[in-house]
A = this chain, B = another copy of it.
């Protein structure tokens, strides 16, 4: 990771890396440099706020934050930065991520967070790529290729399934 990171991935707890690792893989695939930090909105509030306040000056362009339960982390980051913040509600605890989803998506007017699906680490990274693509034509071109490949894969999988069904008839 010699290049200066463009995306800051923030985890409420190091155990959240299990789910959030998928975001790093997507960014690796797209060649987008990133960094990973643990900073709890509740257990280390000053660390979280400092990270958000300094993110822009450090050259970060998008933040991704994953958190579970009363998932305040994405909102707490968004409160202290002008960068776009993507929030990933994490499943866990008794309410299955519904609590994290509401805590992340229902932000009050003035301080937006871009929410993705519960445990949607992959889409958080793809959304970061799309956002960076607004200024980076090469990245957007890569994203277009990614979309075409997905569409092609659907056709291939459909053909394979039909083949399997046909052969099971013989």
Copies of this chain, whole number: 8
**Option from B124, B150, B158 in Cβ contact (under 8 Å) with A112:** B124
Interface residues of A in 39-72 (CB under 8 A from B): 39-47, 49, 56, 61-62, 68-70, 72
* Total interface residues in chain A, CB < 8 Å: 93
Is A101 part of the contact surface with B, judged by Cβ < 8 Å?
yes
Contact A116 B127, CB 8 Å, known A14-B158, A43-B151? no
**Option from B84, B94, B99, B165 in Cβ contact (under 8 Å) with A127:** B84
**Option from B46, B69, B94 in Cβ contact (under 8 Å) with A97:** B94
The minimal Cβ–Cβ distance linking A80 to chain B, given in whole angstroms, is 5
